[in-house]
Structure formats: C-alpha cells, structure tokens
Amino acid sequence: MTYRGSPPAAEPARCVEFSHPAARRSRRPRSPYDAAVRCALLALALAGVVACDDHAAPPALDAAVDAAVDAPPDAPIDAAVDAPSVCDRETRADTYQPGMTRTGAAGFTAALLASVPGPPPRGNSAWDLRLTDAAAVARDDLALRITPFMPDHGHGTAVVAHVTAAGADGRYHVAPVNLWMPGLWSIRVAVADAAAPTVELDAITFWFCVP
C-alpha cells in the first residue's frame, strides 16, 4: 500500500498471551493491569536468563570468596571476642589468688597455695592445699574429700578428685578438680580425721566461676 506523506507510526508491541480455549472460557476476564503485570514478569525472567548466562562474578565478590577460602581454620572470630561471659555479672564467686584462704565454721582453714592452671579453668586443674585447725596448727593427719558442685544447676561432676599428702606442714595435693561446665561452682573441702574419715570435723568452700 502506498502512503502519502509520513507513514503511520508503528503500533507498540503488545504482550500476547496464549492459552487453551477451554481455559480462556473458564477464567474471569482479565484487565489491562493483569496483562501489564505479566509482561513485566516476562521481561524480568528474560533478563534473569541473560544475566545467568554471564558466569563472571563481580571482582569484589571474588576477592571475598578467595579471602574466606584462604583463611586459616583457627582464625579468630570477632563476634567471639565480644561475646558476654556467664561470669560477667556473677557476684558470688571468689577472685582467685595463689595463697587465698577460706575458713570453715569450726575454725579449720584451707589455703589454696596454687591451682594449675590458675584460676581454675573449664575442665581439670590440680590444687595444692594447706590445712590448719582452729588453733592455727598445720594438720598432716587429715582426710579430705573434695566435692565440686553447681548450685544453680543442681549437679556436680562424675570425676573424682583424689587427695594425697604432700609432705609436712599440712600440705595436700588434689587432682583432678573437674569443673566441666561454664557457670558458678562451689568446691567443698570436707575435713575429717584420718583415723575416722567418715566423721566430718569441718567444711570449707571455695567459689569459682568458669567462663
């Protein structure tokens, strides 16, 4: 066909939807808005296909992935450094210091000469104790029983702490003192005469919080 003057403007491309005739009869009439939405979704889908065909990752992403792959397995985690400890607000615990002493109701005193490691950590430690009676006399003839316990949880530990005499001057070696869980622990030192180990003469308690 021949036109005089400028040819008519081309008709804008329309999104044509195809469906089975039976499906068209069973559905409600669609508005121009429905067609526009479907056209937009189709355009986004086509754009995604084109983008997925380009396998080159952004340089910044490549650098981040490389850094993560090359990081050593024991690299520190920043969040762990700032994580709060269960002991941050604990006010009932003793502050560990070699040579610290605690006294029982009957006057016996236990000096914690050393804990290795110190302060007592999560897990096992070895303690050196010195026991004196109410008259401040060092006692080498005692039977000691060590009982770690978590008062807030209502349990202790299945690991038995063994006590051995460590020479004269009331010294005893205790190992292992097992504090296997974070939180507040009471470590009870039951004092008895070695000749009658079932008769408790006094009890002395140390309190430590394990982070």
Q: pLDDT tens, 62-97?
A: 554 455 445 555 555 544 455 788 999 999 999 999
- Cα separation of 137 and 108, whole Å? 9
pLDDT per position as a tens digit, 92-146: 999 999 999 999 999 999 999 999 999 999 999 999 999 999 999 999 999 999 9
The residue assigned the tokens 């090359």 is 70
| pTM assigned to the model | 0.62
Nearest C-alpha neighbor of 128 from the set 103, 102, 149, 99: 99
pLDDT per position as a tens digit, 15-42: 444 445 554 554 555 555 566 656 666 6
- Cα separation of 44 and 46, whole Å? 5
Nearest C-alpha neighbor of 97 from the set 109, 85, 115, 110: 115
At residue 43, the pLDDT reads 64
Averaged over 168-192, what is the pLDDT? 97
Nearest C-alpha neighbor of 185 from the set 105, 83, 90: 90
Pairing of strands 100-103, 183-193: unpaired
Backbone dihedral region of 154: left (phi > 0), alpha (psi from -120 to 50 degrees) or beta? left
- Cα separation of 111 and 106, whole Å? 15
At residue 84, the pLDDT reads 81
Enumerate the H helices of the chain as residue ranges.
Answer: 21-26, 32-52, 59-70, 78-82
Give the SS3 label for residue 22: helix
CATH fold of 100-210 reads Immunoglobulin-like (2.60.40)
At residue 15, the pLDDT reads 47
- Cα separation of 100 and 82, whole Å? 30
Domain edges within the chain: 21-79, 100-210
